[in-house]
Amino acid sequence: TIFRDDRGLFFESWNKKNLKNLINQRVDFVQDNLSISAKGVLRGIHYQKSTMAQGKLVRCSKGAVFDVIVDLRKSSKTFKYWGGIHLNSENNYQLWIPEGFGHGFLSLENESIFEYKVTNYWSKDNEKTLLWNDTNIKIIWPRIDVPYKLSKKDQKGDSFKELNLSNSLFE
């Protein structure tokens, strides 16, 4: 709930009891992360495998992003499906991303601040990157007036087919 008046706004950005009631599971966060991105920065699609898989609670506290998740759980009815949502400092939406999903976002404004709580620590050995424009997943990213900017790691992400063949998806 966002409380707005002529002074500004107030809202509770996280409440352990409320999150448990919403997703019907207990979540223990171990780390908070923050990134600041210029307009056009595309980060992802990232996830971690094995015992280092992460659940994430994400939000954009300044600016705007288009946030994307991809279901990488082979046993799921929504396996290979993706979803996208606009997160920004006007709507103050948050998104819960369970373990087993790839995640990425596109910054739609300069100096967008993206914050997320994670349920497990980052592990270089378990990190995977699904190619942001994989032809099997077919994510429809918003068109913006600047070119996308990706890290070398994200430019060279693995295709869905490669990740599947290397047993790098979730059962």
Catalytic positions are 46, 116
Q: Is 51 exposed, middle or buried (0-12, 13-18, 19+ CB in 10 A)?
A: exposed
Q: Do 36 and 113 meet the contact criterion of CB atoms below 8 Å apart?
A: yes
Q: Do 96 and 16 meet the contact criterion of CB atoms below 8 Å apart?
A: no
Those residues with Cβ within 8 angstroms of residue 121's Cβ, 6 or more apart along the chain or in another chain: 30, 31, 52
Give 131-166 as a 3 state SS string. Answer: CCCCCCCCCCCCCCCCCCECCHHHHCCECHHHHHHC
DSSP 55: -
